[in-house]
Amino acid sequence: MNLIRDKIEQLAKHYLAEIIALRRKLHTIPELSFEEYQTSDLIALLLEKYGIEFQKGIAKTGVVGLIKGKNPQSKVVALRADMDALQIKELNDVEYKSKHPGKMHACGHDVHIASLLGTAKILQEIRNELNGTVKLIFQPSEEKYPGGAKVMIEEGVLKNPKVDVIFGQHVYPELDAGQVGMKSGKYMASTDEIFLTVKGKGGHGAIPDRNIDPVLIASHIIVALQQIVSRNAKPVMPTVLTFGRIIGDGMTNVIPDEVKIEGIMRTFDEEWRAEMKKRITKMAQTIAESMGGKCEVFIDQGYPYLVNDKKVTENTRNSAKKFLGNENVHNLEMRTTAEDFAYYTQHIPGCFYRLGIRNIKKGINSNLHTATFDVDESSLETGMGLMAWIVYRELLNV
Ligand code: NI
């Protein structure tokens, strides 16, 4: 029996209807990366109403709130929710359907914001029981490079007061509502985007000897680059190289002047990541040159890999088990998707865990980034209550 645990659980139940209404409101007003103005205004309005001090306009549309407990200097825990939506036309026929044409909260960031506001309300109510300070980070632009996390860190979000530990949660359609999952150590991949332009000399397809065929060169490059994954990457180092776009706009009998190839690379080690970029560049350039053409290489720097601190994750797992029961806390595997929460974990210890939102009986099981994505809203009760409980316990751990 723990009185604080029970109090947090009751408060989460008590606030659920209000937080569901808030999530629905946010769902109707999705905004793209670094354009989250209405969202930002709504968050500020609510923090003001809850009596929580805050600052607006960090990294353009970011909002940062502060809740001080009884020993505010002893430890500072930060909680992060991302705010941006996607360029997807919503296909759900629900009363809270997106009112912004062509935009949709299809990655659940509306749930993250509403849930964090619920957590804030709970923590504000029990602040005299908190042994430290809680920083609430509402972050813009998770979906788009360079990522709001990077900009917020550059603008000092982890300082003044200095943050000791950070937590983030993300909706997860592979777990039922009421459950959570996490992984200690390396969890999500680094991500970079690759842009190759193969230059040849176009002309009549029937007399290839007079031309330099960039289509054939591009084909060799695409096949050859996979050997970086199969022959150069250590077998224990997960590595992904995918090309999803190739444009060679000639005709059946016309060889084009150039071919564009675009793709991604993902991995879990900074040294190997840098080495991969060198190998891709050298291989693409030398193959093109050996065949008489040229290849221009541009690799756009994305997010680093995300690492969950071992000790913090162990504490989080134990907190989750005490709050939800052992059977509702799952161990997850590494994922080759990416998250800009990774930037925080490069600076300070943190834990990024997953919140179950699936409900197969209700037909709620669409994937993230799809036009039919939705959540079982009972997950908001789990989301806000669990996070408040994790914070309470983490602050006791000085
Ligand atoms: Ni997301």
The pLDDT-based confidence of 2 (bands split at 50, 70, 90) is confident
Identify the CA nearest to 178 among candidates 384, 397, 378: 378
Rounded distance from Cα 77 to ligand 1 centre (Å): 21
**pLDDT tens track for 101-138:** 999 999 999 999 999 999 999 999 999 999 999 999 99
Please, what's the b/e burial string for 43-73 (b: 16 or more CB within 10 A of its CB; e: otherwise)? bbebbeebebebeeebbbbbbbbbbbbeebe
At 58 the pLDDT is 97
**How many CB atoms within 10 Å of residue 145?**
15
pLDDT at 1 over 70: no
* Phi/psi at 334 (5° precision): -60, 150
What are phi and psi for residue 353, nearest 5 degrees?
Answer: -120, 170
The Å distance, Cα 257 to ligand 1 centre, comes to: 39
Distance (angstroms) between ligand 1 centre and the Cα of 49 equals 27
What residues form DSSP beta bridges with 2?
Answer: none
Classify strands 190-199 and 133-139 as parallel, antiparallel or unpaired: unpaired
Share of the chain above pLDDT 70, in %: 99
CA 108 – ligand 1 centroid, Å:
6
CA of 109 to the centre of ligand 1 (A): 6
371, two tokens: 């036009």
Kindly state the average pLDDT of the residues 11-34.
98
- Check if the beta carbon of residue 239 is closer than 8 Å to that of residue 229: yes
Selection from 288, 287, 286 nearest residue 200 by Cα: 288
Tell me what the mean pLDDT of segment 243-264 comes to.
98
Say whether pLDDT at 398 is over 90.
Answer: no
The alpha carbon of 170 and the centre of ligand 1 are apart by a number of angstroms equal to: 7
Q: Taking residues 275-287, what's their average pLDDT?
A: 98
Going from the Cα of 83 to the center of ligand 1, the distance in angstroms, rounded, reads 9
Q: Which pTM does this prediction carry? A: 0.94
Give residue 361 CA to ligand 1 midpoint distance, Å.
24
- What whole-number distance in Å separates Cα of residue 353 and Cα of residue 171? 9
Distance between Cα 356 and ligand 1 center (Å): 14
* Residue 286, pLDDT above cutoff 90: yes
Going from the Cα of 222 to the center of ligand 1, the distance in angstroms, rounded, reads 30
Work out the average pLDDT over 317-338: 97
pLDDT at 318 over 80: yes
**CA 204 to ligand 1 centroid distance, Å:** 47
**What one-character-per-residue DSSP string does 76-140 give?**
EEEEEEE---BS-------TT---STT-B--SSHHHHHHHHHHHHHHHHHTGGG-SSEEEEEEE-
Q: How far is the CA of 321 from the centre of ligand 1 (A)?
A: 24
How far is Cα 125 from Cα 70, in angstroms, rounded to an integer?
13
Mean pLDDT score, 336-353: 97
Q: Cβ–Cβ contacts within 10 Å for residue 132, how many?
A: 25
Mean pLDDT of the chain: 97
CA distances to 72, 248, 255, 380 from 216, in Å:
64, 10, 10, 53
Summarised one tens digit per residue, pLDDT across range 58-112 is 999 999 999 999 999 999 999 999 999 999 999 999 999 999 999 999 999 999 9
For the chain, list the domains and their CATH numbers: 2-188+305-395 (3.40.630.10), 190-301 (3.30.70.360)
| DSSP secondary structure, 284-340, as one string | HHHHHHHTT-EEEEEEEE----EEE-HHHHHHHHHHHHHHH-GGGEEE---BS---T
Q: If you measure from the C-alpha of residue 181 to the centroid of ligand 1, how many angstroms do you get, rounded to a whole number?
A: 16
For 358-378, what is the mean pLDDT?
97
Distance 30 CA to ligand 1 centre (A): 13
Rounded to the nearest angstrom, the distance between the alpha carbon of 265 and the centre of ligand 1 is: 19
18 has a pLDDT exceeding 70: yes
Task: Average the pLDDT over 269-288 and give the result.
Answer: 98
Q: Which of 275, 268, 258 is nearest to 238 (CA)?
A: 268
Cα(26) to ligand 1 centroid in Å equals 15
Ligand 1 centre distance from Cα of residue 117 (Å): 17
What is the whole-number distance in angstroms between the Cα of residue 397 and the centre of ligand 1? Answer: 29
Amino acid identity of 150? K
